[in-house]
Structure 1
Amino acid sequence: MALALYGQRILKRISSLTLAKRHGYIVLVPEIGEDLPEKNPLLQKNGLPEFNNLTIENCMAAIGKQTLEFEAGVREIEDQILQNPVKDIFKNVLNPLENLGAPLDTTWGLSKTLYLGNSTLMPTKSYLSIHDRARRARASKFNSSQIYGAIKDSLNKDNKNEEQTRILKKFELEGKLNGLDINVADKSKLEECLNKLAAEKDRFKTKTEVSTKLFRHQIKDIKVVRDFPVYLLKSMAIDPKHCLDGPWIASLQSHVYLPFMEHCPDRELRWNVWQAMVNRGSTYGNKEYVTSTHLEEIRYLRREQANLLGYKTFADMSMETKMAGSVQNVKNLLLILLQRAMPAQERELLDLHKFATNSGFKGERIELWDVPYWRRKQQISLFDYKEEAIQEYFPLPKVLEGLFSLCERLFKVTIKQRYEVSTWDKDVKFYDVFEPHSSAPVAGFYLDPYTRTDEKSRILQNSGSMVGIQNRSLIADIKPLAALIFNFQPPSSDKPSLLTFKDVNLLFHKFGYALQHLLTRTSYSEVSGLSNIEWDVVEVCGYVLSQWLYNKDVIHSISSHCDSEEKLPADMFDMLVNIRKQTAGLDLCRELYLSALDLELHSTKDFWLDIVRKLWPQYRCFPLDKMDSHPCSFTQIFVEEWAAAYYSHVWARVIAADVYSAFHEVQGDEQQIVDVGKRFRDTFLALGGSCNPGEVFRKFRGRDPSPKALLSSLGLKQAKRAEVK
Structure 2
Amino acid sequence: MSLSRCSTRIFQNRNSIFQLPRRHGYIVLVPEIGEDLPEKNPLIQKDGLPEFNHITIENCMAAIGKQTLEFESDIKKIEIEVSGLEKPDIFKNVIDPIEKLGSPLETTWGVSKTLYLGNSTLMPTKSYLAIHERARRARAVKFNSPIIYDAILKELESKRKLSDEQERVAKKFALEGKLNGLNLIGDKKELLKENLNKLVTEQNKFKFKNENVTRKFMHQIHDPQIVGGFPNDLLKTIAFDPNQPTKGPWSVSLKPNVCVPFMQYCPDRELRWNVWQAMVSRGSGYGEKDFETGSHIEEIRFLRRDQAAILGYKTFADMSMETKMAGSVENVMNMLETLRTYARPAQEAELEGLYAFALESGFEGARMELWDVPYWKRKQRIAAFDYNETSFQEYFPLPVVLNGLFELCERLFNIKITQRLSVSTWHKDVRFYDIFESHSSDPVAGFYLDPYARTADKIQTPNNGWVIGIQNHSRIADTKPLMALIFNFEPPTAETPTLLRFKDVNLLFHKFGHALQHLLSRTDYSEVSGSSNIEWDVVEVCGHVLSHWLQNESTYKLISSHYKNEDKLPSNMFESLMNVHKHTAGLELSRELYLSALDMELYSSKTFWLDIVRKLWPVYRCFPLDKIDSHPCSFTQIFTEEWAAAYYSHVWSRVIAADIYSAFHEVRDNEEQILDVGKRFRHTYLALGGGCHPSEVFRKFRGRDPSPKALLKSLGLRKKPNPA
Tell me the TM-score range normalised by the shorter chain: over 0.9
Q: Equivalents in 2 of 1:289, 1:119: separation in Å?
A: 31
1:149-206 deviations in Å (ceiling 9; x for gaps): 0101111232210000000111111110000111130000000000110111111111
Of 403, 426, 438, the residue aligned with 1:424 is 426
Alignment of 1:403-442 (within 5 A): 403-442=405-444
Deviations, residues 514-559 of structure 1 (Å, cap 9, x unaligned) = 0000000101000001000000000000000000011011011100
SS state of the match for residue 114, structure 2? helix
* Higher relative contact order structure (alpha carbons within 8 Å, sequence separation ≥ 6): 2
Q: Give the structure 2 partner of residue 561 of structure 1.
A: 562
Structure 1: 5+ residue stretches without partners:
1-35, 721-725
- How far residue 87 of structure 1 moved from its aligned partner, in angstroms, is 2.8
TM-score normalized with structure 1 length: 0.93
Deviation at 1:39?
A: 9.8
What is the rounded CA distance, in whole Å, between the counterparts of 1:515 and 1:694 in structure 2?
Answer: 20
Corresponding residue for residue 90 of structure 1: 91
Taking a change above 3 Å as real, the CA distance of residues 466 and 270 of structure 1, as seen in their structure-2 partners, is: same
SS at match of 1:433: strand
The residue that corresponds to 1:676 in the other structure is 677
Question: Could you tell me which of 272, 277, 282 is aligned with 1:280?
Answer: 282
Structure 2 residues not aligned, in runs of 5+? 1-36
How many residues align structurally? 684
Task: Report if the CA contact (8 A) 1:711-1:718 is conserved.
Answer: no
CA–CA distance in structure 1, aligned partners of residues 286 and 538 of structure 2: 38
| Residue equivalent to 2:205 | 203
Q: Residue 37 and residue 288 in structure 1: after superposition, are their counterparts in 2 closer, same or farther (change >3 A)?
A: farther
Counterparts of residues 117-136 of structure 1 (less than 5 Å): 117-136=118-137
Work out the CA distance in 1 between the residues paired with 2:151 and 2:121: 45
- Contact kept? 2:392, 2:502, Cα under 8 Å: yes
- Which whole-Å CA distance do the structure 2 matches of 1:259 and 1:123 have between them? 29
Q: Name the SS for the 1:240 alignment partner.
A: coil
Partner of 1:307: 309
Tell me if the contact between 1:598 and 1:645 (Cα under 8 Å) persists in the aligned partners.
Answer: yes
Partner SS state of residue 447, structure 1: strand
> What is aligned with 1:700?
701
The correspondence of residues 45-84 of structure 1 with structure 2, limited to 5 A, is 45-84=46-85
The residue aligned with 1:389 is 391
Q: Confirm or deny: 8 A CA contact 2:226 2:268 kept in the other structure.
A: yes
Higher alpha-carbon deviation: 412-421 or 195-204: 195-204
Verify the 8 A CA contact 1:533 1:689 in the aligned structure 2: yes
1:128-167 map, 5 Å: 128-155=129-156, 156-167=158-169
Distance of 2:344 and 2:92 partners within structure 1: 55
Q: 1:687 is paired with a residue of what secondary structure?
A: coil
- The aligned runs of 1:518-537 (5 Å cut-off) are 518-537=519-538
* 2:281 counterpart letter in structure 1: N
8 Å contact kept, 1:657–1:709: yes
- Summarize the alignment of residues 300-699 of structure 1 with structure 2, pairs less than 5 Å apart: 300-460=302-462, 462-699=463-700
Match of 1:8 in 2: none
Equivalent residue number for residue 113 of structure 2: 112
How far residue 429 of structure 1 moved from its aligned partner, in angstroms, is 0.2
Tell me, in whole angstroms, the C-alpha distance in 2 between the residues paired with 1:214 and 1:682: 51
SS at 2:447's partner residue?
A: strand
The CA distance in 1 between the partners of 2:239 and 2:232, in whole Å, is: 10
Shift of 1:437: 3.4
Shift of 1:40: 5.8
Paired residue for 1:293? Answer: 295
* Cα gap change, 1:612 to 1:245, in 2 (>3 Å): same
- Residue 102 of structure 1 pairs with residue 103 of structure 2: yes
Preserved CA contact (<8 Å) 1:40 1:58 = no
2: CA distance between counterparts of 1:422 and 1:432? Answer: 14
Q: In structure 1, what residue type is equivalent to 2:172? A: K
Please give the alpha-carbon distance, in whole angstroms, between the structure 2 residues aligned to 1:628 and 1:48: 51
Q: 1:649-669 deviations in whole A, cap 9, x for unaligned?
A: 000000000000000000110
Q: Distance in 1 between matches of 2:269 and 2:408?
A: 45
Distance 1:37 1:474 in 2: 18
Please tell me whether the aligned partners of residues 143 and 149 of structure 2 are also in contact (alpha carbons under 8 angstroms). Answer: yes
Q: CA deviation at 1:439?
A: 1.3
Deviation at 1:457, TM superposition (A): 3.0
Is the CA contact 2:453–2:487 (under 8 Å) kept in the aligned structure 1?
yes
Aligned residue type for 1:424: W
2:98 maps to amino acid: L
TM-score, normalised relative to structure 2: 0.93
Contact kept in structure 1, 2:38 and 2:48, CA below 8 Å: no
* Counterpart code for 1:281: G
Distance 1:244 1:457 in 2: 26
Letter in 2 for 1:196: K
C-alpha distance in structure 2 between counterparts of 1:116 and 1:220, whole Å: 35
Letter in 1 for 2:77: E
1:243-301 deviation line (CA, Å, top 9, x unaligned):
10110001100100110000000000000000000111111121121111111111000
Pairing 1:44–2:26 present: no
